[in-house]
Amino acid sequence: MRILRKVVLAVFFVFFLVSCSQMGSPDVAPKVWLRSPAFDQTGVGREVLFQWYATPWNPGVDSQSSRISGRGEYEIDHFVLSYGEKSKWGTWEMETDYVRIETTATSAESRELLYDTEYYWTVTAFQWVLDSSSSGFVKKLVWTEAGPRQFTTMKEPGEMVAIAPGQFTMGDNFHPAWEGGETPPWYFADQPAHAVSLTRNFEIGKYEVTNQEFVEFLNSAAVPFYEEDIHNPIDGKGWLNGHPVIETSKDDPSTGIYYDPIAQEWKTKTAWTNTNVEPNVIVPLNYAAMPVVRVSWYGAAFFCDWLSQMSGYAQAYDSSSGEVRNVPRDNGGYRLPTEAEWEYCARGGGGDTLYSGTNLFPANYAWFAWNNDMMDGAGSRVHEVGQKLPNSLELYDMTGNVFEMCSDWFETYCAEYGAQGCPGVVIDPTGPEQTDPPVYTFKAMRGGSWGTDDGEDGQTYLSNVRRSSISPENTQNTVGFRLARTILPEGSQQ
């Protein structure tokens, strides 16, 4: 292994010397700097927008430190972007070992990359310059290479974590119980604290469902897109069986999915364009690894049934029949978690932490209003899944990033039990049952989001016990979802 490593290093060193000798002196060569993906960036999506800066050699300019690309009398002729798996670096001799893209632009999109793989990338800038010789001035080609720079693609999404049955106290036990009065406290909907027993094994998603996953569903299910303004054909909604599935938004930096009318397919963005400044600024963002937002509750249910069908499970929402069940069947198919399951998992399996993973200020565990602006030009927005610390169950982003929709109708706790209130122990609660005619119009969602403020006047809007709600047909750029699935006893029927 040591000998092989020395041989590879020697080959790379010779290659480097040859390249340097051919590119001209440092004073007579273009300059190039790599921009994105960033150095050693992890969790990168499978479709990457490579970006770089460059300036041509210009004898009339004393310094070439500016990172603004330009073309004029002295201009860069073209760039060559090369990228490939790090494991094959040093053997990029076969065209199958790497991808080479020649362009005059300062950006280029990759082909679809592999999951959880390290890559190297380089950019070479080429320029024709005049060189004096005994016979006069002749043109010669000089170049400069930047890189290699390393990045790692995202892990394959869809990983689930097995959760054992257990009992815990659900609801707000951090504040005093309301004993009546003219105005209920702000945490009224989060009480009363009550004992809950979960009796069945289940799985819950390690991460929130990503744009990468949801785009596969949209194209596989051929979800049609309807533009809302003929003068702005990019923005609109996907609909299925009479229900909105997802909403697109060109100007929103948190929205990572759009519909390409020319290719007639749904795609994941690779960058966001800031149209509020002139000239417009393109900000590369890793949308593939970000949670899907602007998805409706019905869209989440359709996704669950599609994934169940792809995985050989029964559909929990029966959406293939044309109607979507408002409460999923507990048949082993993918579904949204119940509120009780969600809170049990956020508490790390029934613990008593204020936030998922900690009782302290949650900056290391959550994206929220305090830390969501990375000063990258995109402002406040959603972030890639799995970048913060997990809780004790190895679940990421249970606090913050996006609100997570649950399967339950939203109502005060134990409303189905009437005036007697919660029993001693509530077993496997699924929320109130819808009546005929219907009386419930909102679904529960939990966890807070990238836009949630926290800590003002003790109002812990990000806490594990804080409840929120959304209409099943509405979409918001702060709302997504996470998968769950009951693990059926061996030999039982789906």
CATH at 35: 2.60.40.10
Tell me, yes or no, whether 8 lies in a domain: no
Q: Are 114 and 46 in contact (CB under 8 A)?
A: yes
What is the pLDDT averaged over residues 126-147? 80
Does 71 have pLDDT greater than 70?
Answer: no
What is the pLDDT averaged over residues 70-95? 77
Q: Are 335 and 351 in contact (CB under 8 A)?
A: no
Tell me, yes or no, whether 453 lies in a domain: yes
Cα–Cα distances in angstroms (integers) from residue 423 to residues 131, 171, 173, 419, 467, in the given order? 90, 14, 17, 11, 21
Tell me, yes or no, whether 4 lies in a domain: no
Q: In this structure, are 302 and 161 located in the same domain?
A: yes
Of 133, 153, 173, the residue at which a domain comes to its end is 153
Stretch among 137-141, 186-190, 352-356, 455-459 having the lowest mean pLDDT: 455-459
**The pLDDT value given to residue 205:** 97
**The pLDDT value given to residue 382:** 96
Does 15 have pLDDT greater than 50?
Answer: no
Q: In this structure, are 33 and 172 located in the same domain?
A: no
Q: If you write DSSP's letter for every residue of 38-58 in order, what string do you get?
A: PTTEEEE-SS-EEEEEEE---
Query: What CATH number is given to the structural domain containing 211?
Result: 3.90.1580.10
Tell me, yes or no, whether 294 lies in a domain: yes
Q: Are 482 and 447 in contact (CB under 8 A)?
A: no
Q: In this structure, are 113 and 97 located in the same domain?
A: yes
Of 110, 137, 153, the residue at which a domain comes to its end is 153
pLDDT > 90 in the chain, percent: 62
Tokens of 22: 């051919």
Tell me, yes or no, whether 3 lies in a domain: no
- In 10 A of CB 329, how many CB atoms? 15
Tell me, yes or no, whether 322 lies in a domain: yes
What is the pLDDT averaged over residues 325-352? 94
Does 7 have pLDDT greater than 70?
Answer: no
Does 231 have pLDDT greater than 90?
Answer: no
What is the pLDDT averaged over residues 383-411? 96
**Single-letter code of the amino acid located at 17:** L
Q: In this structure, are 267 and 120 located in the same domain?
A: no
Q: In this structure, are 271 and 191 located in the same domain?
A: yes
C-alpha neighbours within 13 Å on the C-beta side of residue 75: 9
Does 22 have pLDDT greater than 50?
Answer: no
Stretch among 8-22, 54-68, 283-297 having the lowest mean pLDDT: 8-22
**The pLDDT value given to residue 93:** 61
Cα–Cα distances in angstroms (integers) from residue 108 to residues 55, 240, 270, 362, in the given order? 17, 34, 11, 37
Does 142 have pLDDT greater than 80?
Answer: yes
Confidence of residue 307 (pLDDT cuts 50, 70, 90): very high
Using CA atoms of 407, 410, 416, 420 in order, give the dihedral in degrees to the nearest 10: 130
**The pLDDT value given to residue 95:** 61
* Beta partners for residue 405, in sequence order: 445
Tell which phi-psi region holds residue 418, choosing left (phi > 0), alpha (psi between -120 and 50) or beta: left
Helix then strand then coil, % of the chain, to nearest 5: 15, 30, 55
**Single-letter code of the amino acid located at 263:** A
What is the residue range of 246's domain? Answer: 157-494
Cα–Cα distances in angstroms (integers) from residue 335 to residues 236, 303, 327, 370, 418, in the given order? 26, 9, 9, 31, 28
Q: Give 35's contacts (C-beta < 8 A, 6+ positions apart).
A: 51, 52, 53, 284
Tokens of 66: 């500016």
Q: In this structure, are 149 and 174 located in the same domain?
A: no
Q: In this structure, are 124 and 166 located in the same domain?
A: no
The pairing of strands 443-446 and 403-409 is antiparallel
Does 73 have pLDDT greater than 90?
Answer: no
Q: In this structure, are 134 and 255 located in the same domain?
A: no
Give dist(CA 31, CA 35) in Å, integer: 13
Give dist(CA 249, CA 255) in Å, integer: 6
The 10s digit of each residue's pLDDT in 92-106 is: 566 667 899 999 999
**Single-letter code of the amino acid located at 61:** V
Structural domains counted in the chain = 2
**The pLDDT value given to residue 489:** 87
Does 449 have pLDDT greater than 70?
Answer: yes
The 10s digit of each residue's pLDDT in 177-212 is: 888 888 888 888 999 999 999 999 999 999 999 999
**The pLDDT value given to residue 8:** 37
Confidence of residue 420 (pLDDT cuts 50, 70, 90): confident
Confidence of residue 387 (pLDDT cuts 50, 70, 90): very high
Tell me, yes or no, whether 313 lies in a domain: yes
Confidence of residue 70 (pLDDT cuts 50, 70, 90): very low
Q: In this structure, are 83 and 232 located in the same domain?
A: no
**The pLDDT value given to residue 494:** 54
Q: Give 203's contacts (C-beta < 8 A, 6+ positions apart).
A: 160, 161, 162, 163, 483, 484, 485, 487
Tell me, yes or no, whether 2 lies in a domain: no
**The pLDDT value given to residue 315:** 95
Q: In this structure, are 125 and 264 located in the same domain?
A: no
Task: Between 252 and 71, name the one with better pLDDT.
Answer: 252
Q: In this structure, are 120 and 165 located in the same domain?
A: no
What is the pLDDT averaged over residues 421-446? 92
Confidence of residue 341 (pLDDT cuts 50, 70, 90): very high
Give dist(CA 342, CA 340) in Å, integer: 5
What is the pLDDT averaged over residues 225-253? 91
Query: What does DSSP assign to residue 355?
Result: B
Give dist(CA 171, CA 344) in Å, integer: 10
Does 64 have pLDDT greater than 60?
Answer: no
Helices (H), 325-429: 339-346
Task: Report residue 100: phi and psi, to 5°.
Answer: -120, 125
Q: Are 277 and 325 in contact (CB under 8 A)?
A: no
Sign of CA pseudo-dihedral 130, 132, 136, 140 = negative
Of 96, 90, 84, 88, nearest to 121 by C-alpha is: 84
Does 69 have pLDDT greater than 50?
Answer: no
Of 131, 153, 175, the residue at which a domain comes to its end is 153
Confidence of residue 433 (pLDDT cuts 50, 70, 90): confident
Q: Are 259 and 266 in contact (CB under 8 A)?
A: yes
**The pLDDT value given to residue 125:** 95
Q: In this structure, are 331 and 407 located in the same domain?
A: yes
* Beta partners for residue 32, in sequence order: 54
What is the pLDDT averaged over residues 255-281? 90
- In 10 A of CB 193, how many CB atoms? 17
